[in-house]
Amino acid sequence: MFSETFNQAKNLIQHAGKILIASHAHPDPDAIGATLAVKRIAENLNREAALYNIDGVPDYLKFLPGVAAIKETVDYDGVDLIIGVDYGSFNRLGLDEEKIAGIPFLTFDHHTASDQRGFLIIDENISSTCEILYHFLNYLEIKVDKDLATCLLAGIYEDTGGFRHSNTGETTLKIAGELLLKGAPLNKIVKYVDQNDLPNVLKFWAMGLNRTYFDEQAGVVFSFIPYSNFSDSSKEIANFSGLPHLLSTVPEAKMSALMIEKEPGVIKVSLRSQQERGVDVARVASFFGGRGLRLSAGFTSQETPEAIMEKIRSIIYNESVAVLS
């Protein structure tokens, strides 16, 4: 698996002097775990690496070993290779286009290929970017210790919905078992990933549920959270993780759309569906310039929530052959 592409990725890393590793805004466990895995790879190949995330590490992920190395600011001086992980769409990395012009780029991702940059190692059939990197670590014969196993398992656990989603196959479960044998503490991962800051999570979920509207004709569960409900949207948005999935479980629904106004006039939309509903939400997101997976996708829009809802309804009605699979 990936033997030729992994060899080329290895060569890119070995020929770099200073590497910048970046992951997407509002990072989840897969983004942070993948960032730390690539750092370990760079170190084992005797390369200097700087880690960057535009929003930093969420509080609930600060239990992961090594997260202190991830910074919210970036120094481009001397960087001669950028590695982007788990980002789906380039603008989610928050990198300065002018300052990175001409710098070689390497991507590890499990999101549908879109506008990712550089040499691409992408497989949307794999559960997570952390799972892809586990294969790369094995290819490089790099030992996975307890700390690294913890980071990788956190990413796999989150992106498979606790091993409940349809992307949890035999290989994924086998890898999870290997990571447990290497010392990854599943109970600790579950505690932090599933129950992070529970009182705040419940408060924000209640806010989202209270604003839920089910369009029976379109079969879409909508919810909109305006910017005025936040005291610090950059940090509080993370509390809604998992809510779009919950909304999509409404028995009569084809899909859900959670709309969060992350700043005045800018709405982050998370789309989710269930395996048996036969809806490709990545196709829906593509009409708004977004990307994602068949059951999990998203986009950002400056349209009003009413306009977004109307457009989603229109897509469901008029593009049913493409959207319903």
Residues 150 and 32 in one domain: yes
Residues 130 and 238 in one domain: no
Burial class (CB in 10 A: 0-12, 13-18, 19+), 68: exposed
Give the containing element (helix H, strand E) for 50: strand 48-52
How far apart CA 71 and CA 40 sit, in angstroms, is 16
Of 8-12, 132-136, 208-212, minimum mean pLDDT range: 208-212
pLDDT at 235 over 70: no
- How high is the pLDDT of residue 291? 84
How far apart CA 45 and CA 36 sit, in angstroms, is 14
The CATH number of whichever domain residue 91 belongs to comes to: 3.90.1640.10
Q: What is the pLDDT of residues 187-234, one digit of tens each?
A: 999 988 876 556 667 778 888 899 999 999 999 999 999 988 876 555
The total number of structural domains in the chain stands at: 2
Closest Cα to residue 190, out of 204, 203, 200, 176?
176
Pick from 158, 174, 193: which residue ends a domain? 193
Pick from 162, 193, 224: which residue ends a domain? 193
Residues 189 and 204 in one domain: no
Pick from 193, 225, 247: which residue ends a domain? 193
Residues 78 and 210 in one domain: no
Range of the domain at 147: 3-193
Residues 167 and 226 in one domain: no
How far apart CA 218 and CA 229 sit, in angstroms, is 28
What's at 106, amino acid-wise? L
Q: What is the pLDDT of residues 45-78, one digit of tens each?
A: 999 999 999 999 998 899 999 999 999 999 999 9
Residues 153 and 203 in one domain: no
Residues 310 and 283 in one domain: yes
The segment with the largest mean pLDDT, out of 36-45, 164-173, 273-282, is 36-45
pTM over 0.85: no
Q: What percent of the chain shows pLDDT beyond 70?
A: 93
- How high is the pLDDT of residue 256? 96
The CATH number of whichever domain residue 248 belongs to comes to: 3.10.310.30
